[in-house]
Amino acid sequence: MKHNQSFSGAMTECTRMFRGHLASIHSHSVNEKLRRAVSYTHQDQVWVGGITSSLGGRTISYWVDHTIWNYSNWANGNPRRSGHTCVALCSADGLWRSFDCPDSLPFICKY
C-alpha cells in the first residue's frame, strides 16, 4: 500500500514503481485478505483498480487490468449511479464504495 494519490496518480505509481496495476478483486477470500491488510495500516479507504461509468441509467464496472469483472462487494447505495467514479475498499467492513476519481486515497498495487 502506498501514500495518497488520485486514482490516476495511483495507476501511474503502480506501473512506474512496480510494473503492475491497482489491485483487482475476484473473490471474497481476496477481498478479505486485502481488507485485513488495509486495516493493519489504520487506513479507512484505499483505491483498488475498479472503475464504474453510468450512462443512460446503465452502470458498467470494469477493472483497469482488463481482467473479468466476476465479483463485487458494494456497500448499500453503491456504485453511484451517475457519471464516472472509482472504487475504494473500506477496511472496516470490506465493502466497496464509489469515490470521485480525483480524490486522494492510499492504494494497493498488484504485480
- Residues 24-38 have pLDDT tens digits of 999 999 999 999 999
Nearest of 81, 98, 80 to residue 89 by alpha carbon: 98
d(CA 59, CA 77): 13
The parent domain of residue 30 ranges over: 2-110
Mind listing the pLDDT tens digit for each residue in 56-73?
Answer: 888 999 999 999 999 999
| pLDDT value for 1 | 52
Instruction: Tell me: pLDDT of 89 over 60.
Output: yes
Is-above-0.85 flag for pTM? yes
Q: Quick one: pLDDT band at residue 2, thresholds 50, 70, 90?
A: low
Mean pLDDT for the stretch of residues 4-21 = 95
CATH number at residue 76: 3.10.100.10
Q: What is the mean pLDDT of the chain?
A: 94
| pLDDT value for 42 | 87
Q: How many domains does the chain have?
A: 1
